[in-house]
Amino acid sequence: MTQTATPMTQTATPHTSPREIASYFDGLDDPRSAVNRRYTLSNVLAIAIMAILAGAKGPTGIARWARLKEAFLGTCLDLPDGAPRKDVFRTVLSRLRPQAFQACFAHWLASLQQDAQAAKEITQPILAVDGKTNRRSHDGTKGLGALHAVTIWASELGLSLAQVACAEKSNEITAIPEALQLVDIRGAIITIDAMGTQKEIARQIIDQEADYVFALKGNHETLHNEVVDYIDQHLDNDFADVNARRHTESEISHGREESRVYIQFPVPAAVTQKAEWKGLQTIGMATRCYTKNGEDYSEVRYYLSSLPLGVKNFARAVRQHWGVENGCHWVLDMTFREDESRIRGPQIRENVAWLNRLALSLLKQHPEKNSIAMKRQTCAWDDDYMLQVLTGIIP
């Protein structure tokens, strides 16, 4: 059977109950044998989403939660045979093709994105593209390395919009273009670390009608040296002779003083490769200085961007990309315990990782000012709260 993936569009689809959410999967080909199939694919996946929200980590936990919540599930899904067993969830999550599975969430995520952007009055969202490894998901006996997946994370909105696993013996350069194809990025600013700073990726982003801010390091040695030399050349007179824009931020957080200085320039003639980077308009520098345990530290980073001069927008993009580590990856490791997961198998581990990101996104949309860990516990304890997180309807 073929399972097809469709890029996400911005058409919002309202959802008011688990039954309606389950209907998102009606068009997905069921990978199971038709013999003795007692549970619809839609219901199996809807239960899996709710169990992950409540703290389950894999098929065993999902099945255990479903058994304990059988009466509740019977009120919101059609389950004449009761809750499915562990093998049902394992079979489904092991056989579904991850990109086809993700595509079913397209309208749901588009609706969440539109609502979040409207609530926060954001017209040009920052979409951070970054990779993460689930370090214990390897299986040496079968030659399977640890799962490393690229995620597109809407930093200011708390939404994971796509995930693509890197192929074995490959890297993020091949996965990033696939992930970008899954999302409607029109009008967004795409931020990527140095590994993804590639000419073809820049071209794809511009062709998809978005902008980019790329970190620049020594993997593009000539270009990096030209940018650093140009900036160093004008440091002595504080950029008095060039068209530079500057923005400074400072804060005290967790007992640590921190200041950040952002400087942005039009691409100078000294950058000889400008024509090779589609849409390239500006270069930038971000300097971060902080004091920790009485010691002073500083970091300097350089950037290529298709953004026009507008240093506050450039600063916002850089700052939000740094936030993907705390807002997404750290929570997945510390709250979802993803880095400890021993789920193996190329498709099941990727599908469960996607369910973790979906659950994190839904939990972040709930307006209650509690930690993600406490929200998950409340989903496990309180069926009404679970429905609030799942449907977005807050009484």
Q: What φ, ψ does residue 187 adopt, rounded to 5°?
A: 80, -5
State pLDDT tens for residues 146-192: 677 899 999 999 999 999 888 655 678 889 999 999 999 999 999 99
- The reported pTM is 0.89
How would you list the strands of the sheet with 211-216, edge to edge? 159-165, 147-154, 126-134, 189-192, 211-216, 295-305, 282-292, 256-266, 245-253
- Alpha-helix runs per DSSP H in the chain: 18-22, 41-53, 59-68, 70-76, 86-95, 98-103, 106-120, 172-181, 199-207, 221-233, 311-324, 330-334, 348-365, 372-381, 383-391
pLDDT score of 383 more than 50: yes
The helix/strand/coil state of 147 is: strand
pLDDT score of 7 more than 50: no
Average pLDDT over residues 113-119: 93
Q: Rounded to 5, what percent of the chain is helix, strand, coil?
A: 45, 20, 35
Lowest mean per-residue pLDDT among 138-147, 166-175, 227-236 = 138-147
161 burial (CB, 10 Å; 0-12 / 13-18 / 19+) is buried
DSSP-derived pairing of the beta strands 295-305 and 211-216 = antiparallel
C-alpha distances (whole Å) from 173 to each of 102, 128, 134 are: 20, 15, 18
Q: What φ, ψ does residue 137 adopt, rounded to 5°?
A: -90, 10
- Residue ranges covered by each domain of the chain: 1-112+365-395, 165-332
pLDDT score of 210 more than 70: yes
The better pLDDT of the pair 381, 255 is held by 381
What whole-number percentage of the chain has pLDDT above 90? Answer: 68
* Mean pLDDT of all residues belonging to the chain: 89
What whole-number percentage of the chain has pLDDT above 70? Answer: 91
State pLDDT tens for residues 57-109: 999 999 999 999 999 999 999 998 999 999 999 999 999 999 899 888 888 89
pLDDT at 35: 82
Average pLDDT over residues 242-262: 86
